Structure 1
């Protein structure tokens, strides 16, 4: 591919000329983006600093939060910039990079959720063998697979897309997606369509099947257990189930919506918000509200920070404060 072609400008026609509606969307996007970053960074810091959270489930949650930051950063800054621009555009190379980052965000999140379901399955169905099965080495191997496989497969997809000749240079979207870029081409590639189906099967359907099988086994074991065990299983799985259903719904809505080439600025904004901002913001909030260990860690951190601030005042003993 010609290197200079990567700098070809693509027009993003979904944006309206700068006006009141754009400013409203800009403020909403800025607030949601800021809240997403703060919530996920806070969750990552809590997990890193609290030894009680150095467990496989929270390690996976940390990577889910990190992945959410990657997804939101791949879209929101450019969207906010274009909302205030009179001529929204993106270079072809930047568009392809954004496609890669967004797809990696979506597929890695799905893979992490599948590994989390496997962790819950072992925890509930094989509790006595949990520490021998879910070892730190195995968690690291699973996380390496979660990242390396999607990045490798999706890089090939973006490369194949980049080889297509362009005869159009306008995308009616707020940000780039692979289907929109492929539609800019003068030709139709059977290889790209087949490879797209392979990507969908391997990076979406396989993780979905893993989650489904894990919860079928959890349900089967739980139905034979006592009421107290059923309540504990539900409490353990509820945050993950809520997040998985929310993320799957967002993915499905986004895929169906992206099939429509004629959409309004409001529709595009709702789609992008639902896809790259709501799930990453929703994940730490759900786990923060429904997980005792994270709530306890957050309380300890806030209390320690309050004591540190108070200790800067004359006559306050920080040691006494921390012991209460």
Structure 2
């Protein structure tokens, strides 16, 4: 019997079971949210690509950051929109692993890109005379590849290890697939030892990313204290980065704390919001923060809006 149950072909997602009476309202709200995320991120990406004066490391990294936001939300929103219109909420075994890969990759790549952005600001403010030689096109390309490929290799290893497990239940009590939930469905806990070791190594690697970001900004702040010019540069370019980092850390840590210590008696609606907040708040807030705070981007977007309004008249 155990052998037969272990070959799971479909997973049943139960995260929407108590909210289906409001599915029309939820579908409309979710679709609106997804469209807004796509709109603001694409607007920022297109603005940076089309304006040659923004083909600088800081803006290219910001463009990569927004692209990652689009990638992560695309791994979640189309599926949840489909589930809100469907009576049965299922996902194939392969689809579940792919979605788990997308969710973890989105979060890990966000932190990696923030680390590279912190390094860029450190060089720009603490070593301004060497900035163009250090942040050359080749170095920038290498850093962008690092921020995307390293998380892919690390998260991919976790997913490959999960794919070898024999599972004894097809039921996932969440809105979407995440790696740790799939691992908990393993028939034999002893089989998950390697998964847990690699998971802890992954956590250590990305905690080191966090320490690197803190280290970079400590030096930046020290440099800015005695210089009005550097202080202005810090307020203009570093504050959006720090705000993005704070939003990212709060949403991710809130989810992790809920996973580890949260009560199972929470209402499903609140449980769902905690689970998806890092797929809602950062992808919306990040492009808005950078769009309003960075003068070049703000002016370029406002000029575009003004021009379109004149054409429509």
Aligned to 2:292: 289
1:69-218 pair list within 5 angstroms = 69-188=70-189, 189-202=192-205, 204-218=206-220
Instruction: Summarize deviations over 1:20-78 as a string: whole Å, max 9, x none.
Output: 43333222211111100000011110000011111100000001000000110101111
Cα–Cα, structure 1 residues 7 and 58, in superposed 2: closer, same or farther, change >3 Å? farther
- Larger Rg, first or second structure (1 or 2): 1
Shift of 1:178: 0.7
Inter-partner Cα distance in structure 2 for 1:194 and 1:108: 21
From 302, 305, 308, give the equivalent of 1:305.
308
| Cα displacement (A) at 1:280 | 0.9
Q: Deviations over 1:172-199 (max 9, x none)?
A: 0000111111111112221110000111
Contact 1:7 1:93 in 2 (8 A): no
Cα pair 2:48 2:63 within 8 Å, conserved: yes
Q: What CA distance in whole angstroms lies between the structure 2 residues aligned with 1:6 and 1:101?
A: 23
Evaluate the alpha carbon distance shift between residue 80 and residue 126 of structure 1 in structure 2; reply closer, same or farther with a 3 A threshold: same
The range that moved more, 84-93 or 33-42, is 84-93
Moved more, 271-280 or 191-200: 271-280
Report the Cα distance in structure 1 between the residues aligned to 2:37 and 2:217, rounded to whole angstroms: 28
Which residue number corresponds to residue 62 of structure 1? 63
Query: TM-score, normalised to structure 2's length?
Result: 0.92
The root-mean-square deviation of aligned C-alpha atoms, in Å, is: 1.8
Aligned partners of 1:288 and 1:275: how far apart in 2?
20
CA distance in 2 between partners of 1:147 and 1:175 (Å):
23
- Cα distance in 1 between the residues matched to 2:263 and 2:86: 22
Tell me by how many angstroms 1:261 deviates. 8.0
Which ranges of structure 2 fall in alignment gaps of 5 or more residues? Answer: 1-5
Is 1:37 paired with 2:35? no
- Measured against aligned partners, the alpha-carbon deviations of 1:244-288 in whole angstroms (never above 9, x if no partner) come to 100111111122223358354312331244111210111100001
Aligned to 1:268: 271
Q: CA deviation at 1:228?
A: 4.8
The aligned runs of 1:15-54 (5 Å cut-off) are 15-16=16-17, 19-54=20-55
**2:283 aligned with 1:280:** yes
Map 1:208-247 onto structure 2 (within 5 A): 208-223=210-225, 225-247=226-248
Change (3 A) 1:302 1:238: same
Deviation, 1:230, is 2.0
Unaligned runs of 5+ in 1: 311-324
Following superposition, the deviation at residue 108 of structure 1 comes to 0.6
Write out per-residue CA displacement over residues 278-320 of structure 1, whole angstroms, 9 at most, x where no aligned residue.
101111000011110001111222233344445xxxxxxxxxx
Shift in Å, 1:219: 1.5
Contact residue 122 and residue 216 of structure 2 kept, 8 A: yes
Tell me by how many angstroms 1:222 deviates.
1.6
Distance 1:6 1:49, change over 3 A: farther
Q: What is the CA deviation profile of residues 150-175 of structure 1, one whole-angstrom value per residue up to 9, with x for unaligned ones?
A: 11121111011011111111010000
